[in-house]
Chains A and B, each alone.
Chain A
Amino acid sequence: KQEVTQIPAALSVPEGENLVLNCSFTDSAIYNLQWFRQDPGKGLTSLLLIQSSQREQTSGRLNASLDKSSGRSTLYIAASQPGDSATYLCAVESSGYALNFGKGTSLLVTP
């Protein structure tokens, strides 16, 4: 069974810092990996999707990388802002339909 782990569980940084969130998975046979953002009490918003044949994806200040062979992905956030404060979840699709999620990293960006 695919296990997805996210480290750290929580992170607090001052505004303006660049930061990296980590995600690891146990089975490298994946179709894709997605990063989501979740604000308190809300649903999930998809940020980036990396297909298994890709190495990275970028959207604005966000850059996600994928190393399938080592079972790792990172989400890089440049020049963090207080509005980036949220929980970030990593999920992998390895069974064909459903995603397996990590437990998330709770990010707080302080002014």
Chain B
Amino acid sequence: DVKVTQSSRYLVKRTGEKVFLECVQDMDHENMFWYRQDPGLGLRLIYFSYDVKMKEKGDIPEGYSVSREKKERFSLILESASTNQTSMYLCASSYPLRVGTAGANVLTFGAGSRLTVL
């Protein structure tokens, strides 16, 4: 089974701190994603990456950056955490059902990282 591992299940940080959320997948997937999930707002895409060193902004990239130096690892960075970034953060990876195509991606999610910013 594909495994997507998020390094921290629960984090508590203070306003202004730099926060790193790490995500590792073990199945050589090309695509990786960071979502945040909030009550009443559902899942919203922050950033995604379709290759090493490649990144694309999602719907809500403001206040976040990402790093993908190796295929298996995708990091989400909060340069200066704020209270409105308190949320559940979900990492996912995917492969296309047809190799070499952009469509029909099957997503596998990690267990999530619940971040509280005080």
Over the window 99-118 of chain B, the binary record of Cβ atoms lying under 8 Å from chain A Cβ atoms (1 yes, 0 no) is: 00011111111111010000
Chain A interface size band reads 20 to 34
User: Given known contacts A32-B104, A45-B109, A103-B41, is B90 in contact with A97 (CB within 8 Å)?
Assistant: no
Q: Is A42 an interface position by the 8 A CB rule?
A: yes
> Using a CB-CB cutoff of 8 Å, which residues 53-81 of chain B contact chain A?
56, 58
Q: Is the CB of B112 within 8 A of A97?
A: no
B46 to chain A: closest CB distance in Å?
A: 10
Known A-B contacts A42-B111, A43-B110, A43-B112; A103 and B42 likewise in contact (beta carbons under 8 Å): yes
Known contacts: A101-B43, A104-B42. The answer to whether A93 contacts B109 by CB under 8 A is: no
Do residues B103 and A32 form an inter-chain contact, with CB atoms below 8 A? yes
Task: Give A63-94 interface residues, CB cut-off 8 Å to B.
Answer: 89, 91, 93
**A49, B103: Cβ atoms closer than 8 Å:** no
Q: Are A31 and B103 in contact (CB under 8 A)?
A: yes
Tell me whether A51 and B33 are in contact (CB under 8 A): no
Q: Are A41 and B114 interface neighbours, CB within 8 A?
A: yes
**Residues in chain B near residue A36, CB distance under 8 A:** 109
Cβ-defined contact, B104 with A93, below 8 A: yes
Contact A43 B90 (CB under 8 A): yes
Interface: B19 (CB within 8 A):
no
Cα distance, A20 to B106, chains bound together (Å):
23
